[in-house]
Homo-oligomer: A and B are copies of this chain.
Amino acid sequence: MFDDMAKQSTVWLEGTGPEAEIVLSSRIRLARNISGIKFPPAAAKEDREHVLAMAVDVFKKDSIFFKGRILYVDDIDAIDRSFLIERHLVSPEFMMNLPGRGLFVGQDEKLCIMINEEDHLRIQSISSGLTLEDTFDAANKADDYLSRRIEFDFDDDFGYLTSCPTNVGTGLRASVLIHLPGLVLTRDIDNVISWISKLGLAVRGFYGEGTDVLGNLFQVSNQTTLGRSEEDIIESLQSMTGQIIARENAARERLFNDARVQIEDKIWRAYGLLLYARILTSEDVMNLLSAVRLGYGMGVIKEMPLALINELLLLSQPAHLQKYLNKTMDAEERDVQRAMLVREKLNKTVKQP
């Protein structure tokens, strides 16, 4: 499954959109439940199957908008589940076995709808760069189509009802995936995280936690939705992201003024290792790509376009690597094949000095 998808990047890693060099992607998720049916974890199997059937019915009826593929989780094998998780199309929890789960993936992967995750429907839209409003529009449109044919659980006082109380209200979770190597290198990151948290947003390492954050990638998202409008949530995240970008850029400028050659050394060494290493773990690649991405942002290195940096970030992950190369491999073999793939992609794209 997904052999076609494995050969291509995904929409949120196109490296386009505003601020795409620092903000990898913007994501919107809307949680919706169907009136009169228990939430998925508590629902009977038949209820979940009923929900799935209703959703599939909408996708088929509104097939011009819902252009893409409908998948049944039971049919997806282990490596394809990892593949979907690595692509951030689904949550890891969603890939656990629970009968009646299904998935809609839009043709360009911008839209993805999980059926019977924690809520009956989780509508997700994701785009490259800082594009929260556009991304919200896409999710919102899908919500409109669905709500024309399905009655959602809605309370006049509270808003949309959801399985987890933190989602009650708009059911909206907006997030950005942001690359903050400058703040990590200047050791300002802890201050910035605590400042963001105080303002009511959640920040976490995107790969790994605490000091083990890989690739200096962080996810910033709203914490609660109750009592706030969609516009309010999105505007507030948009504005905070702008401030984080400003702090990151200030950190980079400080680095450039105070330790320019050290930073350049770090960036070029990373590039040299990507180009020549014969063994690369996915952690290696994430950290090396982080340095190269910083170099791209600072104008130090022009050899690697952003789209390639993003593509390698995606393809280096275990399931992607195996699907891309079309063979099952243990970790040791993957590290060798990963290094080979990175090398080939670089040599193909990059004009050597």
Binding site for B on A (CB under 8 A): 261-262, 264-265, 268-269, 271-273, 275-279, 336, 339, 347, 352-353
Q: Which residues of B contact A269 (CB under 8 A)?
A: 273, 276-278
Cβ-neighbour of A272 out of B275, B347, B352 (below 8 A): B275
Nearest-CB residue, chain B, relative to A278? B265
The reply to whether A268 and B278 contact each other, CB–CB distance below 8 Å, is: yes
Q: Which residues of B contact A272 (CB under 8 A)?
A: 272-273, 275-277
The reply to whether A261 and B279 contact each other, CB–CB distance below 8 Å, is: yes
Q: Which residues of B contact A275 (CB under 8 A)?
A: 272, 276
The reply to whether B268 and A277 contact each other, CB–CB distance below 8 Å, is: yes
Q: Which residues of B contact A336 (CB under 8 A)?
A: 261
Please report the C-alpha to C-alpha distance between residue A272 and residue B261 in the assembled complex, in whole angstroms: 18
The reply to whether A271 and B276 contact each other, CB–CB distance below 8 Å, is: yes
- Give 8 nearest A-B pairs by CB, closest first: A272-B276, A272-B272, A265-B278, A352-B352, A265-B279, A268-B276, A264-B278, A269-B277
Please report the C-alpha to C-alpha distance between residue A268 and residue B272 in the assembled complex, in whole angstroms: 9
Nearest-CB residue, chain B, relative to A280? B265
Nearest-CB residue, chain B, relative to A260? B278
Please report the C-alpha to C-alpha distance between residue A352 and residue B303 in the assembled complex, in whole angstroms: 14
Other 17 A-B pairs with CB < 8 A, given A261-B278, A269-B273: A261-B336, A262-B279, A264-B278, A265-B278, A265-B279, A265-B339, A268-B276, A268-B278, A269-B276, A269-B277, A269-B278, A272-B273, A272-B275, A272-B277, A273-B273, A275-B276, A347-B353
* Residue of A262, A278, A279 contacting most chain B CB atoms (<10 Å): A278
Please report the C-alpha to C-alpha distance between residue A31 and residue B264 in the assembled complex, in whole angstroms: 50
Nearest-CB residue, chain B, relative to A347? B353
User: What are some 6 contacts across the A-B interface (CB < 8 A)?
Assistant: A261-B336, A262-B279, A265-B339, A268-B278, A269-B273, A273-B273
Cβ-neighbour of A265 out of B261, B268, B277 (below 8 A): B277
Nearest-CB residue, chain B, relative to A352? B352
Please report the C-alpha to C-alpha distance between residue A265 and residue B284 in the assembled complex, in whole angstroms: 13
Q: Which residues of B contact A271 (CB under 8 A)?
A: 276
Please report the C-alpha to C-alpha distance between residue A339 and residue B265 in the assembled complex, in whole angstroms: 9
Nearest CB on B from A76, distance (A): 33
Nearest CB on B from A267, distance (A): 8
Q: Which residues of B contact A278 (CB under 8 A)?
A: 261, 264-265, 268-269
Nearest CB on B from A27, distance (A): 35
Nearest CB on B from A337, distance (A): 11
Nearest CB on B from A290, distance (A): 16
Please report the C-alpha to C-alpha distance between residue A275 and residue B264 in the assembled complex, in whole angstroms: 13
Nearest-CB residue, chain B, relative to A277? B269
Please report the C-alpha to C-alpha distance between residue A262 and residue B336 in the assembled complex, in whole angstroms: 9
Nearest-CB residue, chain B, relative to A268? B276
Q: Which residues of B contact A265 (CB under 8 A)?
A: 277-279, 339
Nearest CB on B from A291, distance (A): 11
Nearest-CB residue, chain B, relative to A269? B277
Please report the C-alpha to C-alpha distance between residue A15 and residue B192 in the assembled complex, in whole angstroms: 55
Nearest CB on B from A214, distance (A): 20
